[in-house]
A and B are shown apart, each in its own frame.
Chain A
Amino acid sequence: MAKRYYWPKKAIFLITTLLIFMVIVMSAFDREVPYTKDDQTHDSIASVTAFTQVYKVLMSPRCMNCHPSGDVPLQGDDSHLHTMLPRRGKDGKGLYAMKCTNCHQPENTPGVRTPPGNANWHLPPADMKMVFQGKTAHELARQLVDPKRNGRKNMAQLIAHADDDLVLAGWNPGEGRTLPPISHAEFKKAWLTWIRNGAFAPAP
């Protein structure tokens, strides 16, 4: 007869355990994870507005000159073809006796309009040219978020790219060259606002 008292106890224990488990699972679904919340707040207006700033920078000579539509880099504030017509080459680092770093040193060369420098000076490679020149804001925004056309970058890598050494070099172009239209801090803010609000492309 004593056995009959054990059944309800076991059942209560089991039901309680199940309830606790369910509460834990439900609370996990309700929990806010900061970065996902950020990524999922898709304010398309804020995103597109920020991209107009980003676009102005990317189309400035300091960025666009190394993202040409052809295989010769551009040069100067008027974005003319680079004198001597150096070529992109397979890896974006030039060809034969005309490799980028033959003239472009790890740092800017002193003097007005002498070769600007960076240890990693190069164009995008031949198999992914990442062209800026001639692109509309819509086309460029679409290209930037497409890993097949943006250097195989995911969103996290795209965010980190704002602080890339060669990107930063745009704000240290050497004597005689204009700076991008806004500061790097403003650019980075616009870049992050654009991406974190959904990386929307402006209308075509």
Chain B
Amino acid sequence: MISLNINNKTYSLEADADTPLLWVLRDIVGLVGTKYGCGVAQCGACVVHLNGEAVRSCVTKVSRAIGQKVVTIEGLSEKNDHPLQKAWLELDVAQCGYCQAGQIMAAAVLLKENKQPTDADIDIAMAGNICRCGTYLRIREAIHLAADIQQKSKKR
């Protein structure tokens, strides 16, 4: 029996310590917003936050998450109102949508560490997240918009 803190909730569950965190999230806990893409940390579809860092849950053993803080796309905001989620809706970023949870979770780390990223900063931060539909330009625009939303909400 292991205990995990996911989206500020404690889960006690049975899982082998070597099980990838992704499978625990999807198959045991039922949080299916995080997607399986490549299984070898090459695409970014499975990005979740582990203590605030954008880890790839397909190669992260669940043992690494014990006693740590895991946040998935479902827990990024309480009312789906994170600046990135607002911007994503505003600009209709997603096409098929499969990679978008990973894109948003990666972008959230960027915005936390760089409040007004340039195009170059965005390209560096997001280079590990692949989108088969090629929504990269909308993703970049949405991150700029989310940075503005974040700034405005802080000024209020």
Residues of A within 8 A of B127 (CB): 84-86, 98
**Known A96-B113, A99-B54, A114-B41: A87·B124 in contact at CB below 8 Å:** yes
Residues B113 and A114 in contact, CB atoms below 8 Å apart: no
Q: Smallest CB-CB separation from B129: which chain A residue?
A: A97
In the bound assembly, the distance between CA atoms of A134 and B43 in angstroms comes to 31
Q: Is the CB of B128 within 8 A of A114?
A: no
Residues of chain B within 8 A (CB-CB) of A109 are: 40-41, 59
B99 within 8 A of A: no
Residues of A in contact (CB 8 Å), total 19
Q: List residues of chain A with CB within 8 A of the CB of B107.
A: 97
Interface residues on B, range: 20 to 34
**Hey, which bits of chain B sit against chain A, CB under 8 A?**
40-42, 47, 53-56, 59-61, 64, 105-107, 109-110, 113-114, 121, 124-129
Which residues of A does B touch, CB under 8 Å? 83-87, 95-99, 101-103, 105-106, 109, 111, 114-115
28 A–B contacts from the bound complex (CB under 8 Å)? A83-B42, A85-B124, A86-B128, A95-B124, A95-B125, A96-B54, A96-B125, A97-B54, A97-B106, A97-B107, A97-B109, A97-B110, A97-B125, A98-B54, A98-B125, A98-B128, A99-B53, A99-B54, A101-B53, A103-B41, A103-B59, A103-B128, A106-B64, A109-B40, A114-B40, A115-B40, A115-B41, A115-B59
